[in-house]
Structure 1
Amino acid sequence: MILYGHPFSSYTWKALIPLWADGTPFEFRSVEQFGAEFAALAPFGQFPLLDDGGTVVAESSIIIEYLQRHHPGPNIWIPEGDAGLRVRFLDRVFDGRIMDTAQVAVANALRPAEHKDPHGVEQGMKRLRRHYDWLEGELGEDGWAAGDHFTLADCAAVPALFYADWIERIGPERPRLNAYRARLLAHPAVSKAVEQARPFRHYFPLGAPERD
């Protein structure tokens, strides 16, 4: 299998983490070196993209579900029944409510000066803080997003909370969310993703802090 992506890409992290955690054999190809090869396969020009012997799978959540179905390992990324619904729901929360909202500030930083939208950023950060507060009330004092097992929801939480905290600090008033982020970063597969991405921190348009 080949996974196309970039080491600094949030959604690439999301797909890499289960591959590493399960010990699944694969080759990683950075789009910086294999851009033309990737573009010939990518239906939307977005990464990560998985090529499993000619079967092309797009979208990070779908890649993880595909891996569970066709290349199962020791981890259950999406459990059966209502527990699976909870995992899928939290996956959508981290991607859509945390990651996408945080990206409002990133996108604004990349705009030319005449198109900056400080009001839009302010409103986006208000929404992000509200989402943080919701998560603070949902998370336990230990364990993972949806219970005792590291799942798809945690794969989504890793890049979402990692980068969102760079943009809008979670803050000491949310101790459970801060502690959960710290547990995520201590996971061996997550630590590997963070270290692999470290040389590319200059890509972050708002300036990458040194605390992580």
Structure 2
Amino acid sequence: MTLKLYAHPFSSYCQKVLIALYENDTPFEYLTLDDQKNGAALEALWPIKKFPVLVDEERSILEASIIIEHLDLHHPGPVRLIPEDPRAALDIRLMDRFFDNYIATPMQKIVLDRLRPEQDRDPYGVTEARAMLDKAYGWLDRTLADRQWANGAAFSLADCAAATSLFYADWAHPMGDRYPRVRDYRRKLLARPSFARAVDEARPYRPYFPLGAPDRD
């Protein structure tokens, strides 16, 4: 049975899963949420209506990191995104959590705040989110000193998380030249064919970015 992915091309967490699928040329049916019919099907599978959701036979798999773990276990390809060694796998999962919690989450705070009515915005919360991004950029810049990818020499789940979170975070809170290793790592991720494909698929939606998409990338 073909894998089915309910996703939207402009969503960072959907792109995270798409990178994993594209890395291994894993066949799947892409059910984009521009189609109202697919949106209704997603809600029936997962009433919270968060995406992506992967359907594998009769099973629905939720949350981007879990979907990638599922793919690595049940539909493995030449690019293994989680090491078999459990100690090494813990390090990968730690970096995955870092990118989701300390890059993607504050980035989303900044973006979603702009969608609120002006009288309901949270300037203090946005200031906190920007401060968190600066702390995270700084830590990552030091951590990348002796690494080719997020956790060493091999592309992994952590890089799937890094690609999308750093892509949008730099739009919301530009890193400039203050964090050269992070800047160069982001460029390297953008050159990765799997992520470049996901970015290209999302280009038509850039006018919807609440802060205004920069004329780059």
Query: Shorter-chain-normalised TM-score: which range?
Result: over 0.9
Match of 2:50 in 1: 46
**Where do 1:107-118 residues align within 5 Å?**
107-118=112-123
Match of 2:153 in 1: 148
Partner Cα separation in structure 1 for residue 131 and residue 43 of structure 2 = 36
Greater displacement, 73-82 / 86-95: 73-82
What is the Cα-based RMSD across aligned positions, in Å? 1.1
TM-score w.r.t. the length of structure 1 is 0.97
Partner Cα separation in structure 1 for residue 100 and residue 46 of structure 2 = 20
Q: Structure 2 residue aligned with 1:63, among 46, 61, 67?
A: 67
The answer to whether the 8 A contact 1:78-1:84 is kept is yes
Match of 1:21 in 2: 23
Q: Does 1:173 align with 2:175?
A: no
Match of 1:77 in 2: 81
SS at match of 1:139: helix
The answer to whether the 8 A contact 1:142-1:180 is kept is no
Q: Give the Å deviation of 1:142.
A: 5.6
- Percent identity between the two aligned chains: 48
Partner Cα separation in structure 1 for residue 160 and residue 216 of structure 2 = 21
TM-score w.r.t. the length of structure 2 is 0.95
Aligned structure 1 segments of 4 or more residues deviating by more than 4 angstroms: none
Aligned length: 212
SS at match of 2:155: coil
SS at match of 2:31: strand
Structure 1, unaligned runs of 5 or more: none
Q: Give the Å deviation of 1:146.
A: 0.6
SS at match of 1:4: strand
Structure 2, unaligned runs of 5 or more: none
**Where do 1:126-141 residues align within 5 Å?**
126-140=131-145
Match of 1:157 in 2: 162
Partner Cα separation in structure 2 for residue 60 and residue 154 of structure 1 = 13
Partner Cα separation in structure 1 for residue 200 and residue 28 of structure 2 = 19
